[in-house]
Every structure is written in structure tokens, then in C-alpha cells.
Structure 1
Amino acid sequence: MAIVYPLCLWLLLLFGPGLAAIALYYSLAVSWQLVLLGICILYGIFPLVIGWIGSILIQRFGCHHEKGVGISYKCPDNPQMEELVTGMVFLGAWGGIITIPSGILGCIGLIISIIYRSI
């Protein structure tokens, strides 16, 4: 188990640049490169969208932040939602640390690949 977590971290970190490498290595058409660019953008903003949806759920279910516990929300009306919204906000806050830089690097590589392919 000790090797699985660092491996997953590296896979998440190299996802965007990997898409750019696929586009360069296989000399994909510009339309396919644009599809990969869209996937790379979605990958980069995915944790932010999850965190945003989590904050909407927090407001919808009347949850409040539990003081002194870190990221933890209590939902008096729906206690079964506490773990879900806490996990969503946690993913939104910390997941972007890995996916945003990876998405940016992938987008830069794909834009360079599209320019290179267009010439």
C-alpha cells in the first residue's frame, strides 16, 4: 500500500502532460488535439467544480462549519450528508493543487502541438 499512493499522485500529476505527449507522438489531427485540449481543461477544473457543487449542497441542506476540527461540516437537517459535503469541499480545496498545474502544463503542450501541426 505504501507505493500505491505516490504512484497515484504521479499519475494525477502527469495526466495533462501525458495528453500533450500523446498528441505530439501520434501526430493527431487538429480536431483530435482540440478534443484532448477540452479533456485537459476539464481535468484541471474538475476539483473546483466538485468544491463548488459541495458549497451549493452546504447552503441547500443548511450545513454549518464545525469550529476547531478542520474541514468538517455538520448538517442538522440531513446528518447523512455531512461526510459527502465535507469530502466535496475537501476535494475542491486540495485536489486543485495537483490537477490545476497538470492541466495547465497539458494545455500549454497541446497548444504548442496545435500550432506545430497547423504550420
Structure 2
Amino acid sequence: MVENQEYEQHSQKLAKGLKWNNEDSLCVVNGFALEGSFNNLVSNPHNDVRWKKFNKRLKKYKKVDVDDVKDILTADDPKKEDSNIYSKYTLQTVIYDALSGTLEVAFTQKFGDDFPEKPVFIKVK
């Protein structure tokens, strides 16, 4: 635990150029999304595409559980070049369920023809 940490409030605005349609969820795509932060989501096409994919995929659900999140994260075919959420470059995927306090992780090798079509998740906690 970090002492004297300032936590972001839900009322903070997103950086200019970003839109998020799912007010009860959080998405992290290797970038900063809040107004006033260094914005490498809109300026980085790779991050921008992933942000929009997550937003679109999550919008289809009224309520999500861990299995839904796994489906959202692994919907891309890792063998296709345009896969950029789950791809041959994915090293790990971590899912934390705040309601149950569970943490699941999947590790994958970086390259190779035997890259798994779907990762195998291990319950850590």
C-alpha cells in the first residue's frame, strides 16, 4: 500500500479526443487517459485503436463478469496481423475482479507458431 497517495476521482474528465461510453468500467491500454496527463492514447495509433476496440466491445454488455472480460480481451485472432489486444506480442493478461477480490493471470510466450489461440488463465487469489 502506498501512503499519501492521491487517488483519481470518478468525476475527472478524459483527455481531449477520448471518449468512453461505459461509465461503470475501467480500461487500461498502456496510456494515460485523464485530462491534464500526457496523452499517448490519441497520439499513438496503436493505443487509440485498442482503446476504441475495448470501448466498442464492452458497450455490448449490460453487466460483465470475469468470463465476459476474458472474451473481450481475447476476441482477436492472435495469428492475424491486425490483432492488437490479444496478439502474438501479448506476454501476460491480468484480470482483477474487485467484487470477489480474485486475480487471474495468463502468461504466453512471445513468438512462435504454437502461440495459443486462447490463453489459459490461472487463479492467483
Q: TM-score under structure 2 normalisation? A: 0.26
Comparing both chains, which one has the higher relative contact order based on Cα–Cα distances under 8 Å and sequence gaps of 6 or more? 1
Q: Over alpha carbons, which structure has the higher Rg?
A: 1
Relative to total residues, which structure has the larger helix share, 1 or 2? 1
Q: TM-score under structure 1 normalisation? A: 0.27
